Amino acid sequence: MKTWKIYLSGEIHTDWRERIESGAREAELPVHFDAPVTDHDASDDCGAVILGHEQDKFWYDHKGAKVNAIRTRTLIADADIVVVRFGDKYKQWNAAFDAGMAAALGKSLIVQHDPALNHPLKEIDAAALATAETPEQVVNILKYVIRGALNR
């Protein structure tokens, strides 16, 4: 049986990934979750730490962003479903960028965010096959999509 590959992109400061993963585990769904490196400091510093320090902050960031891209692009390209969550803080442009890549690659896109963000996220929601408000709704989508199970 197919193992569905789900990439969890976006906000890294709350436990939304854990909530989706534990919900899927409880439901014994045949899924494999991937995500970016969610350790913020490691994600910022990886390029300079591994490949050598950069004085110029732009290139310091640049090296790190590219090393992270090795991971994120590979896993997004592998995914069946890309879930992108937007939180209430930070610019989160990389989340929107991932959503754009996922859409262009024909991935099934699920966006998860507070309704307060509906207006600025309308273009991304328009490219998505589902807009969820909570991680639990994402779990319910996965249950339905993979098992056909609908809890009313």
45 is a site residue for a second copy (CB under 8 A): yes
Residues from 54 through 83 that contact a second copy (CB under 8 A): 54-59, 61-71, 73-75, 77-78, 80-81
Q: Cβ 105 to a second copy, closest distance in Å?
A: 5
Asked whether 6 and 76 are in contact (CB, 8 A), the reply is no
State the DSSP H helix or E strand holding residue 56, giving kind and residue range, or none if neither.
none
For a second copy, what does the binding mask look like between residues 126 and 145, x meaning CB under 8 A? xxxxxxxx---x--xx--xx
Size of the site for a second copy (CB under 8 A): 88
For a second copy, what does the binding mask look like between residues 9 and 28, x meaning CB under 8 A? --------------------
User: Which residues are CB-contacts of 132 (< 8 A; sequence separation ≥ 6)?
Assistant: 110, 111, 112, 138, 141
User: Which residues are CB-contacts of 105 (< 8 A; sequence separation ≥ 6)?
Assistant: 76, 77
Asked whether 81 and 110 are in contact (CB, 8 A), the reply is yes
89 is a site residue for a second copy (CB under 8 A): no
119 is a site residue for a second copy (CB under 8 A): yes
Name the residue among 84, 61, 59, 60 with its Cα closest to residue 72.
Answer: 84
Q: Cβ 97 to a second copy, closest distance in Å?
A: 4
User: Looking at beta carbons only, is 14 or 122 nearer to a second copy?
Assistant: 122
